[in-house]
Amino acid sequence: MNKIVMITGATSGIGLACAKRFAENGDKLILTGRNERRLKELSDEFKSNDTQVITLTFDVRDREKATEAINSLATEWREIDVLINNAGLALGLDPEYDGSFEDWETMIDTNIKGLLTMTRLIVPLMVNRDKGHIINIGSVAGDAAYANGNVYCATKAAVKALTDGLRIDVAKTSIRVTNLKPGLVETNFSTTRFHGDTERAANVYKGIKPLTGEDIADVAVYAANAPEHVQIAEVLILPTHQANGTVIARKES
């Protein structure tokens, strides 16, 4: 049965890969992001392939705009089956005593508060129907801190705690809650972290074949389509030569 899937941060990376995989599965899409032009391009592309899609332009950090966007949904689109809390980012890679206040605030407001905003807006709709699935995109960084990752690691540890807490809160319902924790995924993640320094970003993936957004999307689709009595609570997804957040066996070029 076709689902209505809402994906935050859907214009690139893991979010876009999820949109494509769920579209291939025949599902309907609600795509959100900050870039209205890019959302329009994606809408046209998906519609040309007979995917039912609507787009909502807002920043998850802006609770008022997010609320307005959700409230604007037509009744038939409010029956959201899957919420993928994907919007998130890392900024900077500095010692905690030397980090940027602005970068910290952006990560906290996006990765934690933005996820909470979307959860608060969408999950009550699922509770009312006793049906739904929340898939949060966490990170291996949420399992243990790594050098200079401090605040980003803390935000992803928060994603794990919030996901676990939500799963407890909805255990009496039929709603499922999943935390996907990728390791190295080659998207625009590192370019964003290093504020557009593409050379430094490329070095993150040097000597190892990283995951792709499609790899994570495959797991998301699997979790969303597991039998109703099966809850994929948490999945750690790593490249073959990555053992955890800090141990990576790189091959010399």
* 152 belongs to the catalytic site: yes
Cα distance between residue 100 and residue 71, in whole Å: 35
Strands (E), 8-80: 28-33, 53-57
The Cα-based distances of 204 to 91, 143, 196, 237 in angstroms read 14, 19, 14, 17
Q: In what order do the strands lie in the sheet with 82-85?
A: 53-57, 28-33, 4-7, 82-85, 133-137, 176-182, 234-237
Active-site annotation holder among 97, 146, 152, 205? 152
Report the candidate in 248, 236, 181 with the shortest Cα–Cα distance to residue 208: 248
Cα distance between residue 69 and residue 143, in whole Å: 33
Q: Which residues are annotated as catalytic? A: 152
